[in-house]
A and B are shown apart, each in its own frame.
Chain A
Amino acid sequence: MARVGVFVCFCGANIADFVDVPAVVEEAKKIKGVKYAIDYKYMCSDPGQGMIRDAIVAHRLTSIVVAACSPRMHEKTFRKALSDAGMNPYLLEVANIREHSSWVHQKDKKAATEKSSDLVRMAVAKSIANEQLHEISVPVTKRALVIGGGIAGIQAALDIADARIPVVLVEKSPSIGGKMAQLDETFPTLDCSQCILTPKMVDVASHPYIELLPYSEVIELDGYVGNYKVKIKRKASYVNFDTCTGCGACVQKCPVKVPNEFNMGIDKRKAIYSPFPQAVPNKPVIDAEHCTMLLKGKCGICAKVCEKGSIDYTMQDEIIEREIGAVVVATGYDLWDPKPYEEYGVGRYKDIINSLEFERMVSASGPTGGVPVRPSDGKIPKSVVFIQCVGSRDEAKGIEYCSKICCMYTAKHTLLLHHKVHDSHAYVFYMDIRAAGKGYEEFVKRSQVETGATYLRGRVSKIYQKGEKLMVRGEDAQIGQVVEVEADLVVLATAIYPYKDNPELARLLGISYDKYGFLSEAHPKLRPVETAKAGIFLAGCTQAPKDIPDTVAQASATAAKVCGLFAGDTLLKDPMVSKVNTEYCTGCQNCVTVCPYQAIVTEEIPMGHGSKEIRIVAKINEGVCQGCGSCVAICRSMAIDLAGFTDMQIINEIVSI
């Protein structure tokens, strides 16, 4: 027999002024099952909670109703009061008579009082059906997966590993380093990218807590926060990394030449290659698409010259499985393809390049030995036009958003150009200079003063060839005239675009992405590094365009999140999750399709008691279930119910008035 205690709060004047609280108490006393009802000035205060605790003991109450402010406000407080009195905290129900009554019916005290009584009645009815619930504790596998070996992935991996948490770092290309490894110098300090990055790369390789899986891709992830299982495909490198010494003899002798991705195809690499001199791991891989041996079955020079005999043409892709507790996604970005800008003659003129190509040219270790040259004739350009916002901030031909870093690196490029080719002159077509960041504005100023670059505010409308030169025609909005600039080289600041495989990756991870393919954070302001799926975090340009400092900061933030997640041996979880009554379950599995979290699996149970025949029924994975109740509402046989919001509780509420 239920023994409900009702505690009605004055909330100072907030409730008392517009609701006849004593009347509500009197009404409450009449409700079937209510053993004790009382009011007090501030139920949430210590004495107020004290009253609850004492009453629970004194009147052997089986459930508690507090009529006060919104449960979103003080539910936790009162639950604590219950557990302090040795009662299961989930036997509490809150009747929201402040937000839902006293504050919204201030002109009609009678009606407000009646309504409050009804709300109490409903709460009592519900509380009678309440069950004892216990927080679910989920075990945690204390190992993190980091997807992407760019600066974001590297930073996240190192920070997590430094907390003595094992990390699996997966990188799709043969070496970690990402886009940052391709850069020459970095704004606003102009320190050389390689010099600050490569030490970190080496740390990754040598860190006892990091398992580096280069030339690999994540192909499957199941499980839930703290208990993920990941399948990783390790692509065949045809080189045995254990025995290979990285001497590079094979690379020298390889007769096949193909465009070098790392250098944006400006020069050629071999079919067996390691992307760049400081690569980590510094072992070559064979590019199966181009290797004569693998294509035609003859050649095999690399195998001949390899003293260690590390070359193995029969190597196959292997699938690696790991158990992990959390995931950091750091897949970075691609450059947007400026094909739609036909008026620029993109693709028709060799001497129009994108900024990353320029970056490679001016890089000391780059294909042109650090001097920018015209791809068409190899001459050193004297007049260079930089065009900003190619794709960015252009709804018509490109994308709406601002790529954030172009203003800065273009300023950097003008400086680098000035340093490498002293008698050169830079023209910059821009829309706005966006230099928000520590030392950024100063840097732009500096570059303008040092290089004397001509900044033209306006869009470029056409580029055409005139003799050797490229004629760049655009508007100079400040003088309101069309200007034509004679250029030897044109550099397009093409937009940052999400890594092309993001949507596919997002699908297999079960997280969401926006219309461009950037992975979506859980909350734009308050949860910028989490995804909607617990235990999966985002770092770097995979979430939005970012510069290096922001990327590193976000990467470290994800590390902090992961460490927090792994702080205890188990995760505590709200017990308001679905449960299956296998007796009624028909195994139609509609709930499986409806569940947004893949929290419902199937299990086989005996047909009847002691029976040999088996049948399939639904099984809730409490760790994953978020308690939305979608499955409950669609379950025709009412075999699923949601703890805390059971059919019985809700129907009780409905019929109580």
Chain B
Amino acid sequence: MDYTKQIQDIAGRLFSEEKIDLFIGYRNTGFDENQVPVLIKHYKDVDQLLFTDKSVFNLANYLKYEHTRNKRVGLVVKGCDSRALNLMLTENQVKRENLYIVGIACEGVVDETGEKAQNCVECVMPDAVIYDEILGTPSGKRDYQVNADIRELDGKSLTERQEYFEEVFESCIRCNACRHSCPLCYCAKCCIDQETATLFQGANTTSSAFHALMTWSLHLAGRCVDCRNCEKACPSHLPLHLLHKQNEKVIYENFQEHLAGMIQDDRGAFYKYSLSDPDDFIM
């Protein structure tokens, strides 16, 4: 999967036609074969752009920051990224007319080991669901499959799970990188940092990490698109996707197979309901 050429052409075209003020894409780190996001401001820089199966990051994330607001932005989105973008549009965080979206019919990106990343293996929607033009041949929606790690955890006993996660929460350093790397964590002031929440908790403790991560994942429940930006950003390499995948599973299985951001104007699972939602777990 290599769309470098096409993307450079598109960016070039958009700049020359003055359709955009900046273009968000990927470029080489310069010191290894990995890639980093890049914000192109000038026509001359477009040749930095590239797109391969190492273009892992979710660029929609950069739309939540000051320097892209009210600018005409072109950007590249894979299937998962576009779903996040969809939600950002639904939740009025970006204006569609300000965007030129280059969708990718994604064949999956690789993780640090060079293998196809897990979320790509289990991906439900590899093609961009919203775009102005799309690169590659769409392969369409795939069947939902429960995350392998979750399946494994379900097999484990309560105690094993508890010990496992106690360690996870212990290793969290509360740096909030997960939050900053998540396109859907765009709150002006995160609830975790607000007085009401902070008042009763120590700074960096297992307890506060438990509290923070649980709250965070519940705020993303029914919204998370499994782009794993958070995990890539986490310095402690926490398996954050577990929390999200669990919620995704519960929601998919119980609430009319809801998947976040698949269609426009479809809000998160918590902002609607069905009379037929499961009721048996309630006395």
Whether the Cβ atoms of B188 and A655 lie closer than 8 Å is no
Residues of A with C-beta under 8 A to B195 = 648
Given A588-B92, A648-B196: A637 and B271 within 8 A (CB)? no
Produce 1/0 per residue, A338-370, CB < 8 A to B. Answer: 000000000000000000000000000000000
Q: Which of A156-164, A515-523, A579-587 contacts B (4 or more CB under 8 A)?
A: A579-587
Complex: how many Å from CA A637 to CA B69?
Answer: 20
Given A636-B219, A651-B196: A593 and B272 within 8 A (CB)? yes
Interface residues of B in 207-248 (CB under 8 A from A): 219
Residues of B with C-beta under 8 A to A655 = 200
The distance from the CB of A506 to the nearest CB of chain B, in whole angstroms, is: 17
The answer, among A589, A647, A648, for a CB contact under 8 Å with B91, is A589
CB of A485 closer than 8 Å to a CB of B: no
CB of B113 closer than 8 Å to a CB of A: no
CB of A501 closer than 8 Å to a CB of B: no
Whether the Cβ atoms of B196 and A638 lie closer than 8 Å is yes
Residues of A with C-beta under 8 A to B79 = none
Given A594-B271, A651-B196: A589 and B92 within 8 A (CB)? yes
The answer, among B190, B196, B270, for a CB contact under 8 Å with A634, is B270
CB of B108 closer than 8 Å to a CB of A: no
Across the interface, name the chain A residue whose C-beta is closest to B192.
A638
Whether the Cβ atoms of B91 and A588 lie closer than 8 Å is yes
Given A588-B93, A593-B271, A616-B92: A637 and B200 within 8 A (CB)? no
Across the interface, name the chain B residue whose C-beta is closest to A586.
B187
Residues of A with C-beta under 8 A to B93 = 586-588
The distance from the CB of B249 to the nearest CB of chain A, in whole angstroms, is: 21
Residues of B with C-beta under 8 A to A613 = 69-70
Whether the Cβ atoms of B267 and A593 lie closer than 8 Å is yes
Whether the Cβ atoms of B271 and A590 lie closer than 8 Å is yes
CB of B252 closer than 8 Å to a CB of A: no
Given A583-B188, A636-B219, A638-B194: A590 and B267 within 8 A (CB)? yes
The distance from the CB of B230 to the nearest CB of chain A, in whole angstroms, is: 15
Produce 1/0 per residue, A616-657, CB < 8 A to B. Answer: 100000000000000000101110000000011001000100
Complex: how many Å from CA A587 to CA B219?
Answer: 16
CB of B268 closer than 8 Å to a CB of A: yes
Residues of B with C-beta under 8 A to A586 = 91, 93, 186-188
Residues of A with C-beta under 8 A to B186 = 586
Pick the most buried of B188, B219, B268: most chain A CB atoms within 10 A of its CB: B188
Interface size class of B (residues with CB under 8 A): 20 to 34
Whether the Cβ atoms of B188 and A637 lie closer than 8 Å is yes
CB of B203 closer than 8 Å to a CB of A: no
The distance from the CB of A33 to the nearest CB of chain B, in whole angstroms, is: 15
Residues of A with C-beta under 8 A to B190 = 637
Complex: how many Å from CA A97 to CA B170?
Answer: 40
Whether the Cβ atoms of A647 and B196 lie closer than 8 Å is yes
Residues of A with C-beta under 8 A to B191 = 636-638
Complex: how many Å from CA A655 to CA B191?
Answer: 18
Interface residues of A in 553-586 (CB under 8 A from B): 583-586
The distance from the CB of A641 to the nearest CB of chain B, in whole angstroms, is: 9
Looking at chain B's contact residues, the main secondary structure is loop
Produce 1/0 per residue, A582-616, CB < 8 A to B. Answer: 01111111100110000000000000000001001
Complex: how many Å from CA A647 to CA B187?
Answer: 18
Whether the Cβ atoms of B187 and A651 lie closer than 8 Å is no
Across the interface, name the chain A residue whose C-beta is closest to B218.
A636
The distance from the CB of B27 to the nearest CB of chain A, in whole angstroms, is: 30
Total interface residues in chain A, CB < 8 Å: 20
Residues of B with C-beta under 8 A to A583 = 188-189
Residues of B with C-beta under 8 A to A584 = 187-189, 194
Interface residues of B in 87-140 (CB under 8 A from A): 91-93
Complex: how many Å from CA A594 to CA B186?
Answer: 20
Complex: how many Å from CA A409 to CA B186?
Answer: 67
Residues of B with C-beta under 8 A to A648 = 195-196
Complex: how many Å from CA A585 to CA B188?
Answer: 7
Complex: how many Å from CA A616 to CA B93?
Answer: 10
The distance from the CB of A364 to the nearest CB of chain B, in whole angstroms, is: 51
Residues of A with C-beta under 8 A to B268 = 590
Whether the Cβ atoms of B200 and A651 lie closer than 8 Å is yes
Complex: how many Å from CA A590 to CA B191?
Answer: 16
Produce 1/0 per residue, B169-201, CB < 8 A to A. Answer: 000000000000000001111110011110110
Produce 1/0 per residue, A461-503, CB < 8 A to B. Answer: 0000000000000000000000000000000000000000000
The distance from the CB of A531 to the nearest CB of chain B, in whole angstroms, is: 20
Complex: how many Å from CA A584 to CA B197?
Answer: 14
The answer, among B69, B187, B267, for a CB contact under 8 Å with A636, is B187
The distance from the CB of A334 to the nearest CB of chain B, in whole angstroms, is: 27
Complex: how many Å from CA A648 to CA B69?
Answer: 33
The distance from the CB of B178 to the nearest CB of chain A, in whole angstroms, is: 15
Pick the most buried of A585, A594, A638, A648: most chain B CB atoms within 10 A of its CB: A638
Complex: how many Å from CA A541 to CA B195?
Answer: 54
Complex: how many Å from CA A655 to CA B207?
Answer: 14
Residues of B with C-beta under 8 A to A585 = 188
Across the interface, name the chain A residue whose C-beta is closest to B268.
A590
Pick the most buried of B190, B197, B271, B272: most chain A CB atoms within 10 A of its CB: B271
Residues of B with C-beta under 8 A to A616 = 92
Interface residues of B in 243-283 (CB under 8 A from A): 267-268, 270-272
Complex: how many Å from CA A616 to CA B196?
Answer: 25
Whether the Cβ atoms of B187 and A587 lie closer than 8 Å is no
Complex: how many Å from CA A53 to CA B69?
Answer: 56
Complex: how many Å from CA A586 to CA B199?
Answer: 23
The distance from the CB of A631 to the nearest CB of chain B, in whole angstroms, is: 10
Complex: how many Å from CA A639 to CA B185?
Answer: 14
Residues of B with C-beta under 8 A to A636 = 187, 191, 219
Across the interface, name the chain A residue whose C-beta is closest to B191.
A638
Whether the Cβ atoms of A637 and B189 lie closer than 8 Å is yes
The distance from the CB of B133 to the nearest CB of chain A, in whole angstroms, is: 28
Complex: how many Å from CA A648 to CA B199?
Answer: 10
Pick the most buried of A583, A613, A647: most chain B CB atoms within 10 A of its CB: A647
Residues of A with C-beta under 8 A to B199 = 651
Task: List residues of A whose CB falls within 8 A of some B CB.
Answer: 583-590, 593-594, 613, 616, 634, 636-638, 647-648, 651, 655
New A-B pairs, 12, CB < 8 Å, besides A585-B188, A586-B187, A616-B92: A583-B189, A584-B187, A590-B91, A590-B268, A590-B270, A593-B271, A634-B270, A636-B219, A637-B188, A637-B191, A638-B196, A651-B199
| 13 residue pairs from A and B, CB less than 8 Å apart | A584-B194, A585-B188, A586-B91, A586-B188, A588-B91, A588-B92, A590-B91, A590-B268, A590-B270, A613-B69, A638-B191, A651-B199, A655-B200
- Counting from the closest, the 9 A-B pairs by CB-CB distance are A588-B91, A637-B187, A638-B191, A636-B219, A590-B271, A647-B196, A655-B200, A593-B271, A584-B189
